[in-house]
Amino acid sequence: MTFKNVKKVILTGFVIVTLLLFFESTIVLAIDNAVIEDVQPKKNILILHSYNEGLAWTSNQNTGIIEMIDKEYPNTSTYVEYMDWKNYPTSNILSYLSDYFEFKYTQKHIDLIITTDDAAFKFALLNRKQIFSDAPIVFSGVNQEDVSKIAKHYKNYTGVIENIDPTETFRIALRINPNLKKVYVVFDNSESGLSTGRLVMDKVKAMNLEPIPMNNMSFNELLKVVSKLDNTSIVFFATYYSDGNGKMLEFNLASREISKYSSVPLYHQYDFGLNKGAFGGDMVSGRLCGNYAAKLAVRILKGESASDIKIISPKATRVVFDYEQLKRFEVPVWKLPKTAEIINKPFSFFETYKRLVVYVIGAFSILTLFLVVLLVYIRKIRNIRKQLYLSNEELTQTYEELVASDEELRHQLDEIRSIQKSLSQSEEKYNFMALHDVLTGLPNRRSLLEDSSRFLGINTGKKTVLLFIDMDNFKYINDTMGHEFGDELINKAGQRLKTALKDLGTLYRLGGDEFILLIYNIENQFEAEDFMSQVLQSFKDEFEIGNSVLHITFSIGAALYPDHGNNIEDLIKCADIAMYKAKEQGKNRYVLYDRDMDKAFSERMTIEKLLHTAMDNNEFEVYYQPQFDLQSQKITGLEALLRWKSSELGNVSPIKFIKVAEDTHLIIPLGEWVLNQACAFVKELHEKGLQGLTVSVNISTIQILQSGFTRKIIDIINSHKLNPECLELEITETILIESFTTVFRKLNKLKKMGIRIALDDFGKGYSSLNYLKQLPISTLKIDKSFIDSVSIDEEGRTITRHIITLGKSLGMTIIAEGVEFNEQLEYLKKYHCDRIQGYLFSKPLPGEDVKKLLIV
């Protein structure tokens, strides 16, 4: 066979292999003649949950509702509210929620209400006509019996019945363990717990098994029982938020502890028990319930009447098991139903890519066959060459000499080419290093300057935008987690920014946590703002680094060419100023440069520079504002307030310099100084006979997150020999939201020592009833904006009254800030506010003036 025939055979083989792979991976593209639907009208939806968002059941239903609404009817404005009924099942809370929702929704038209669980369904039926535009209701998570009790004579509603039927779970359990005879049922003594427990035990009896209730045991007794169960038993977890003694239990902790101690599998009724100790079962899915409820809601949004839509009772369950639990109890996978999901199962390459492996083996076999054929013909060719060699020995010898000379020349030529290639690679490497950041591989500042010189100035009739992007709180993350962690975070953040940029421009790293985005050919500032919004949105998802998971945010400043500068340095300066403005406004936002910012930026830089020397120059002073006790008619406390009289700027407002001190971390030594001054001053007043007087000091987020914060507070109190009960630390709602776990641990330790904790400016942020209940808060300070509204409108008076009632019910001392008029004072007296502070009684005073006021 000739070389030409061999070539054909090889080519044919590769064509066959290519076709096999092509037909496996081909994506068939079809162009449908789609009919463009009419634009859906804008709708307002209220999702009202009975419990708080910390409950996985509630969170899963919320996720299921929103994802289906977004898919089927995206043109909606969705409002989500939580009644927190498990923690506050009282009529007072219902009154408070009625006032709050009436204030919030009376002027807003609601097209549809979706409720989860009993309390929200009942509340919505009672109040929808007065508060929620008499909107139709779709309920979820309510059983048939409770629907009949709650709905009664009401109309214009439909929903999804929560169908609790663990029968399939017990069938699976019997299939796994035919020796099963007893089912230990875990539930609590709440109304819903008892109802669920009776239903589950009835199902157990129907399966000819013996049900054993565990609702009257203490948690420790329950753990002892489950630790001694034999192979004829299982434990079934129905619903459990308190033990037989009424002690409240956190669901995840209870589930994990029972699973940990149990000597037999722990089956669960709900899928939110997965990864929390659940063995598995045919589990009710909150997310599926939410999906079904949302589908009914979409039908109503598209025009159907709620009364005409039949209430459904779908099978909203999934058969799922935890591989780690199967392994723990030595249960083989083949005993499970074929349709069962298995979570936490180790990755198997063959099972995942079985078809691909088969095709690769087939392709390899074909290639091997053609290789054998090729070797056979190569051998024939060698024999032919050998015969030619023997018959042409002299010619071959001459040829070899020529080949030797040719090889020597080629070797020398290869060496020259190798040297040229090495030189070229070295030059490319050094050029790359000069123009790129070593850590991220992104273009650096020098690259930015070179690129801008080529692109700026080209008259296209469009604009260029430069975005200065700075990571929020990076210094704290870097100091806390370590520099290697910080480098990895910078690297991953750069990758995500580059993904968000797509092909619209170029991303550069200036250094540290600062990035520059240069985007060409945009139409106007609105297009730039849309893109900045997308960049911020891309950081909603967390980062996983090592064993840590964290969210980060960015502050973005933007400058436009040629509006804000004709060269790259001017654009960077303007965008940097705008970025600082974004930081001042609360971070995690973007700001477009405005020339009016130059003055504010210059003022900030001046303040930052002078702050570094202000303490050494003794420019700070602590003022004290008295707190007047309405019952004893005496001054019982002082709030320490920092004042700065700069040698260059004069009196500087705390509004201006406190934020700069926090951004530069100067607040740490400055806050420690204020604590020392306040403790020393109140100790001096105690020695002059004012023994019961307390002093409160504001604490910033930066201070409380320091690793030695608790120890420092204790050392300061001990150094002044001050009674801990005479010191009160004031924190803001922002601290609660950003760092709840850390704050709880530290404040709880201080509270146990006797130090009082005050929540400042209550109502101004996003306080949660759950936070108020869990944190060791002694004092609730009503924000001045609510006190001002007492003199203006009824709504303000109502909210202030409810805040006082709420704080009192939680055993807190209530202090009203900013009291300036007698009308406000009389209102606060009427509703038994404990203390007041404000200009009506006294403005903040220097220490000497306070002594004159208090010491006669």
401-456 pLDDT tens trace: 777 777 777 887 887 787 677 656 656 676 777 788 888 889 998 888 888 877 77
pLDDT at 35 > cutoff 80? no
Mean pLDDT across 715-728: 95
pLDDT at 420: 72
Q: Which helix (H) or strand (E) holds 277?
A: none
pLDDT at 636: 93
Average pLDDT, the chain: 85
Nearest Cα neighbor of 113 from 96, 99, 95, 125 is 125
Ordered alpha helix ranges (H), 302-444: 323-328, 349-352, 354-391, 393-435
Tell me whether strands 694-698 and 634-646 are parallel, antiparallel or unpaired. parallel
pLDDT tens digits for 277-332? 899 999 999 899 999 999 999 999 999 999 999 999 898 889 999 999 999 999 99
pLDDT at 11: 44
Percent of the chain residues topping a pLDDT of 70: 90
| Residues in CB range of 465: below 8 A, 6 or more apart | 517, 518, 519, 522, 525, 528, 531, 558, 559, 560, 561
pLDDT at 689 > cutoff 60? yes
Least confident of 279-293, 521-535, 818-832: 521-535
Q: How far is CA 418 from CA 60, 403, 414, 432, 700, in A?
A: 63, 22, 6, 21, 63
pLDDT at 510 > cutoff 90? no
Nearest Cα neighbor of 636 from 761, 728, 698 is 728
Distance CA 463, CA 558 (A): 12
Which tokens is 570 given?
């001017």
Question: DSSP assignment of 321-342, as one string?
Answer: EEHHHHHHTT--GGGS-TT-EE
pLDDT at 504: 82
Handedness of CA 421, 426, 429, 435 (dihedral sign): negative
pLDDT at 578 > cutoff 60? yes
Asked if 303 and 282 count as a contact pair (C-beta separation under 8 A), the reply is no
Distance CA 768, CA 484 (A): 36
pLDDT at 768: 53
Asked if 268 and 286 count as a contact pair (C-beta separation under 8 A), the reply is no
Mean pLDDT across 102-125: 92
Mean pLDDT across 84-98: 87
pLDDT at 223 > cutoff 70? yes
Asked if 321 and 343 count as a contact pair (C-beta separation under 8 A), the reply is yes
Distance CA 540, CA 542 (A): 7
Which residues are paired to 157 by β-bridges? Answer: 137
Mean pLDDT across 238-254: 85
In this structure, the dihedral spanned by the alpha carbons of residues 271, 275, 277 and 280, taken in order and rounded to 10 degrees, is 40
Q: How confident is the model at residue 522 (pLDDT cuts 50, 70, 90)?
A: confident
Query: For residue 260, is it left (φ>0), alpha (ψ between -120 and 50) or beta?
Result: alpha
Distance CA 81, CA 105 (A): 11
Which tokens is 109 given?
């038209």
Mean pLDDT across 621-628: 95
| Residues in CB range of 134: below 8 A, 6 or more apart | 128, 156
Q: How confident is the model at residue 776 (pLDDT cuts 50, 70, 90)?
A: confident
Mean pLDDT across 235-242: 88
pLDDT at 796: 75
Distance CA 142, CA 230 (A): 36
pLDDT at 734: 64
Mean pLDDT across 582-598: 85
pLDDT at 392: 73
Q: How far is CA 291 from CA 41, 135, 157, 473, in A?
A: 21, 20, 17, 38
Distance CA 576, CA 601 (A): 9
Handedness of CA 468, 473, 478, 484 (dihedral sign): negative
pLDDT tens digits for 334-370? 989 988 899 888 876 666 676 777 888 888 889 888 8
Distance CA 266, CA 185 (A): 10
Nearest Cα neighbor of 603 from 563, 653, 564, 667 is 653
Burial 99-119 (b: 16+ CB within 10 A, else e): bebbeebeeeebbbbbbbbbb
pLDDT at 770: 63
Question: Nearest 5 degrees, angle CA 347-CA 352-CA 354?
Answer: 135
The domains located in the chain, with CATH, are: 43-161 (3.40.50.2300), 172-283+317-349 (3.40.50.2300), 445-595 (3.30.70.270), 609-854 (3.20.20.450)
pLDDT at 152: 82
Distance CA 768, CA 592 (A): 33
Q: How confident is the model at residue 34 (pLDDT cuts 50, 70, 90)?
A: very low
Asked if 470 and 476 count as a contact pair (C-beta separation under 8 A), the reply is no
Nearest Cα neighbor of 169 from 238, 57, 269, 273 is 269
Q: Which helix (H) or strand (E) holds 456?
A: none
pLDDT at 115: 96
Q: How confident is the model at residue 21 (pLDDT cuts 50, 70, 90)?
A: very low
Distance CA 74, CA 301 (A): 11
Cis peptide leading into residue 562 (ω within 30°)? yes
pLDDT at 721: 94
**CA count, 13 A, side-chain hemisphere, 216:** 2
Nearest Cα neighbor of 148 from 311, 375, 6 is 311
Question: DSSP assignment of 189-256, as one string?
Answer: SSHHHHHHHHHHHHHHHHTT-EEEE-TTS-HHHHHHHHTT--TTEEEEEEE-SB-TT--B--HHHHHH
